[in-house]
Structure 1
Amino acid sequence: MLRRAFFRCVASVGALAMVGLGSAGAQEPPRLRPKEHYTVGFSQPGSASPWRRAQLDSIRAEAIKRGDQLIYTDAGGSADKQVADVNALIAQGVDLIFLAPRDEKLLIPAVMAAKSAGIPVILLDRTVNPSLAQAGRDYVTFIGSDFVEQGRRTAEALTKATNGNARIVQLEGLPGSSPANGRRKGFEDFIQAHRDMTLVASQPADFERAKGQQVTEALLRVHPDASAIFAHNDEMAIGAMTALEAVGRTPGKDVIVVSVDGTRTALQAIIDGKLLATVETNPRFGPVAFATMARYARGEPIEPWVVITDRFFDKTNAAQFLDSAY
């Protein structure tokens, strides 16, 4: 435990130092030379969830379609390993790195190492702390959803469904990740404007189904009068619904549940009346990621944030999109 904390501290200090060097040196990301085919690195924080697997499938399919070579790394849930993974991609001399950072701060050294090596980085689905690294200077761009808006939309749906009166348990995603930070902010900012929407407990469950169930079980013992649950992703929501059923409470009736991601399992739960709504986080990044890379290689200006448009699923449209969900 102490050893891990020490290395995280070292990584943070190193990140700050490298940001300073980057600011004093190159004021833009490394360029990408136009050529017919590229060797591209893709670093994911893990691949255990359906969302991560769908994203990987999309990236792989687009690489094959374009004739590019893809080198994939899976950090297995470790920020330290992901930094090492990026360093390994740098050592292999890839042309560009797609990076889905596990943590907003701890992956700064990886971003800066790639920049120093002359390899451009495009962030996918998660971003990094903007006070430490910036799009258009240290990396090319961030491609992803508006996490704050996702949180706001779930809060709005929950407020409407409960007539503005609920005792809410929040299951947070991975601490330090941009989706967890943004979704929490958007949700909490919205409910603060509604006096009877009370957040009684908020605890991380790391975007994992099993942890979502475990945390919900523990929180229900402390807050048996909870009437609503906001989960930062569908996997935790499914775990929460399992926990509710285990104590004889009916999801969708006794406790209203909302979440984020838009998985097939979540859409089926909406159809079954267990889940009120989920805000989509589209995992199919392949086409937009490689198209953005191609634009950058042509020398086109790239916006600092390539926004992914997300749909909203509830009982009015869940059946319509079930077959196309991942």
Structure 2
Amino acid sequence: MLKALCLSVWLGLSLVSGAQAASVVFLNPGNADETFWVSYSRFMQGAAQNLGMSLRVEYSGRDRQRVLHQARQALQGPQRPDYLVLVNEQYVAPEIIRLSRGSGVRLFLVNNGLTVDQARQVHEYPDRYPPVLGTLTGNDEEAGYRMLKTLVEQLPPAALEQGVDLLAFSGLKHTPAAQLREQGMHRALAELPGVHLRQLVYGEWSRQRAYEQAQLLGARYPRTQLVWSANDEMAFGAMQAFEEAGRVPGRDVMFSAVNSSPQALQARIEGRLSVLMGGHFSLGGWAMVLLHDDAQGVPIGQLLARPRPVPVLQLIDAVKARRWLTLEQQGDYGLDFKGFSAVGKAPGYRYPFLKDAMDY
């Protein structure tokens, strides 16, 4: 198990303009067999290979001490990368930023940026916390909002007049992305007086935990018609519990989820998932484009002076799900990452992934 969690993937050491390729270490917070985080790394690897960069991926298995150990190894060891990419899961970012002081390694955050309090702390003590090169996060609040609104749009008008029971499954309490998705859901609830949130629980992104929680909640709230989930694994765990109770997904109970795993895409095609949001696996790939350009002298720091949400999360209907299932067989989704680079482009070039949702 430890070997699996420590899995490191090295991509070829190609040369860029006669110099050694820019090297990157990605501290992946997930497990080496976790569909979302594995696909996330595959997309980054596709970008790295296309751009002629070196990438190493370290999986921490959501173990806070392990990721801090991996960060120390990368930042203080004999073979330091040019860039360290990290996720602020379980609020680890400030400590890793502190560890980077004097290392010569540039830091880049993806998916979960600093919280407001963390950003204030880092800003107030620049002698302790060196500056971060940039942050890319997804449109998580908007995704949480759109998931619930789209679920409700599929109900017959009479259902809202009678009142609809909703259950919600969020991720980890100390994960900004989960918090933002929750906020979006609550924003939608404020606009939907006919929808009643009976309970929100933290499934910790786990199918098994959500299954056990849903067994209890389904019995406690037998009139549940909507299930909102912050990822696909929890949606499938809850779905299993409702199916065992004789409820049919997509007919008796409607489920929503975030992620574009093959299983989630297939469930969307079959109608077992009524609403699916996906695309945030691409953030690491877009970060690789920016790091490539930084290594080539493009001033991306000015562009990323403020953390920005990238509109990568989008609704996936059945047609798009079929298309993504085909593209998912290619680690880079068939994209030419060099084409997204600003190197060689005219002044004023804008990265398309920073201004528009990618519609593969």
Q: Distance in 2 between matches of 1:116 and 1:288?
A: 27
Following superposition, the deviation at residue 180 of structure 1 comes to 0.7
Following superposition, the deviation at residue 206 of structure 1 comes to 1.0
Picking from 61, 75, 81, the partner of 1:76 is 61
Q: Could you list the runs of 5+ residues in structure 2 that have no partner in the other structure? A: 1-17, 124-129, 330-360
Q: Which residue of 2 aligns with 1:94?
A: 81
Following superposition, the deviation at residue 177 of structure 1 comes to 0.6
**Per-residue deviation, residues 136-171 of structure 1 (Å, max 9, x unmatched):** 973122223111011011011022122444211101
**How many residue pairs align between the two structures?**
292
- For 2:23, the aligned partner's letter is T
Q: Establish whether residue 305 from structure 1 lines up as the match of residue 303 from structure 2.
A: no
Picking from 290, 314, 320, the partner of 2:288 is 290
Following superposition, the deviation at residue 61 of structure 1 comes to 2.9
- For 1:157, the aligned partner's letter is T
Q: Establish whether residue 190 from structure 1 lines up as the match of residue 171 from structure 2.
A: no
Q: Distance in 2 between matches of 1:325 and 1:77?
A: 25
- For 1:152, the aligned partner's letter is Y
Following superposition, the deviation at residue 321 of structure 1 comes to 3.5
Correspondences of 1:242-253 after superposition (within 5 Å): 242-253=240-251
Q: Which residue of 2 aligns with 1:12?
A: none
Q: Could you list the runs of 5+ residues in structure 1 that have no partner in the other structure? A: 1-33
Following superposition, the deviation at residue 83 of structure 1 comes to 1.6
Following superposition, the deviation at residue 283 of structure 1 comes to 1.2
SS at match of 1:65: helix
- For 1:37, the aligned partner's letter is A
Contact 1:159 1:191 in 2 (8 A): no
Contact 1:97 1:122 in 2 (8 A): yes
- For 2:217, the aligned partner's letter is L
TM-score, normalised to structure 2, is 0.75
Q: Distance in 2 between matches of 1:314 and 1:291?
A: 28
SS at match of 2:153: helix
Q: Distance in 2 between matches of 1:321 and 1:65?
A: 20
TM-score, normalised to structure 1, is 0.82
- For 1:156, the aligned partner's letter is K
SS at match of 1:118: coil
Correspondences of 1:1-326 after superposition (within 5 Å): 36-47=20-31, 48-92=33-77, 93-103=80-90, 105-133=91-119, 138-162=131-155, 163=157, 164=160, 165-297=163-295, 298-300=297-299, 301-303=302-304, 304-305=307-308, 307-315=310-318, 317-325=320-328
Q: 1:55 to 1:78 in 2, by over 3 A?
A: same
Q: Which residue of 1 aligns with 2:354?
A: none
Greater Cα shift, 117-126 or 241-250: 117-126
- For 1:81, the aligned partner's letter is R
Contact 1:149 1:183 in 2 (8 A): yes
Following superposition, the deviation at residue 228 of structure 1 comes to 0.9
Contact 1:277 1:312 in 2 (8 A): yes
Q: 1:79 to 1:260 in 2, by over 3 A?
A: same
Following superposition, the deviation at residue 290 of structure 1 comes to 1.8
Q: 1:146 to 1:286 in 2, by over 3 A?
A: closer
Q: 1:265 to 1:211 in 2, by over 3 A?
A: same
Contact 2:47 2:289 in 1 (8 A): no
**Per-residue deviation, residues 243-288 of structure 1 (Å, max 9, x unmatched):** 1111111111111111111222122112222110111133134542
- For 2:58, the aligned partner's letter is T
SS at match of 2:246: coil
Identity %: 20
- For 1:118, the aligned partner's letter is G
Q: Distance in 2 between matches of 1:286 and 1:147?
A: 15
Note the aligned Cα RMSD (angstroms): 2.3
Contact 2:257 2:277 in 1 (8 A): yes
Q: Distance in 2 between matches of 1:59 and 1:265?
A: 21
Q: Distance in 1 between matches of 2:249 and 2:44?
A: 35
Q: Distance in 1 between matches of 2:195 and 2:19?
A: 55
Q: Distance in 2 between matches of 1:299 and 1:284?
A: 21
